[in-house]
Structure 1
Amino acid sequence: MRVVSKFILKEGYLVIYHHNENKIETNQLMLRLFNEADVPEVVKLCNNYNLYKSTLNLPYPYLTEHALIWMENHLSDFNHNKRFELAITDKITGKLYGAIALSHHQTFNHGELAYWIGEEYWGNGYATEAAKALIEFAFSAKNYNKVFARSFDSNPASMRVIEKTGMKKEGLLKKHVRKDGKYIDLVCYGILKPEADVLG
């Protein structure tokens, strides 16, 4: 039996969680688990220095083995409510645009949001739509108390995406990350469950 949960966000975003299929549907997108058929496209999108320099953990050069290792525990992590790592795809064509993840910190009942979009798809609103859907999933389906995200202060585009989800800036971690021999500031954002703007 198919089990779904449907939510409509204030901005008109539709969010449908397909429980049995581990999928989240939005107006334009289908967020689903990755599979081995995605590996070539993941490698193509991730093997990009412009993407690497704006992410915390993405390796560069990005190889097939990186994708396979990364995907290895996605299903188990999803089923055990540890981490929800999903492909951002076009709902109609299935085209892969990027990835979004929600890591569950069970002790504190909150989740960290992270994402990447292939450079050729930047500026289309895919990250914002996927992020809003995963935040709604966190609050309505998983009952988290808070969702937070972090961004390099050198990545204003990512900060705009985070701010469009309704997250508020909570602080700055000075020289918190070392990347390519340089120390980078991290901007911290968060949103609490009562702040989530849901109509029903």
Structure 2
Amino acid sequence: MATDFSSSPTFSIATERLHISYFQPDIPEHCNLLVRLLWPGIDTPAKAAEFIKNRIHADYRRNKYGQLLVSLKPHQNASLAESKLIGVVSLMRGQPPDGYLQPDIGYQIVAEENGKGYATEAAIGLMNYARRELGVDGVFGFCEKDDPRSRRVLEKIGLQYRGERKLRVFGGEECAVYALPGMDQDLRVYGIDD
């Protein structure tokens, strides 16, 4: 049975090198990470705490998934408490009319830990959990057209390139679109249209 995201501060999805866990607004390190990653409009820990309470936890309650913390284990059997925060992995599905019918995967790792495969490992771990425990059978990936690093991660996690489209959820910006194999080639069935 899947865990309630908003009520389990000790829950973790463990991968070989990482823990994937929930944001908690009352833990300063969680708030400071959002500030450090330069999230739009979040420039203080207080704003980050409000964002976690009002937005991130709302996504957990609505979809049973959302934006999650990525922590690096210092050794193979390390607990969540022993691990160091290094980024965020997300599985997001918006609300109609602008939200897509299937979630999209996202990731952001702190600069000094980039290029070590952590984004790929975290994304695979979250997608496997969501498929197994939450019944999520379709996942999109979106990135800027000229972002080869993000494109490589999306391909490594098993998504297929489906072209470039102007996406309303990103203000009409043209993005590279990826989807899991088996998702209908006509992406309009998922709310993605040209």
* Structure 2 residue 160 is matched with structure 1 residue 168: yes
Kindly state the Cα deviation for residue 75 of structure 1 after the two structures are TM-superposed. 3.7
Kindly state the Cα deviation for residue 76 of structure 1 after the two structures are TM-superposed. 4.7
Distance 2:166 2:95 in 1: 27
Distance 1:174 1:109 in 2: 17
Distance 1:79 1:88 in 2: 20
Kindly state the Cα deviation for residue 79 of structure 1 after the two structures are TM-superposed. 4.0
Q: 1:126 aligned to 88, 113, 118, which one?
A: 118
Q: 1:60 to 1:158 in 2, by over 3 A?
A: farther
Bigger shift: 86-95 or 67-76? 67-76
Bigger shift: 64-73 or 126-135? 64-73
Kindly state the Cα deviation for residue 157 of structure 1 after the two structures are TM-superposed. 0.7
Amino acid at match of 1:147: V
Amino acid at match of 2:123: A
Question: Which whole-Å deviations, capped at 9, do the CAs of 1:74-94 have from their partners, x for residues lacking one?
Answer: 345324435422100013342
Quick check: 1:145–1:193 contact (8 Å CA) kept in 2? no
Partner of 1:51: none
> RMSD of aligned C-alpha atoms?
3.2
Partner of 1:155: 147
Partner of 2:28: 37
Partner of 1:8: none
Distance 2:144 2:40 in 1: 16
TM-score, structure 2 as length reference? 0.70
Q: 1:193 to 1:94 in 2, by over 3 A?
A: farther
Bigger shift: 122-131 or 109-118? 109-118
Q: 2:72 aligned to 90, 95, 107, which one?
A: 90
Q: Indicate the SS of the match to 1:145.
A: coil
Distance 2:104 2:12 in 1: 19
Identity of matched residues, %: 26
Distance 2:85 2:182 in 1: 30
Q: Which runs of 5+ in 2 are unaligned?
A: 184-194
Question: Which whole-Å deviations, capped at 9, do the CAs of 1:31-51 have from their partners, x for residues lacking one?
Answer: 01122222224323x13xxxx
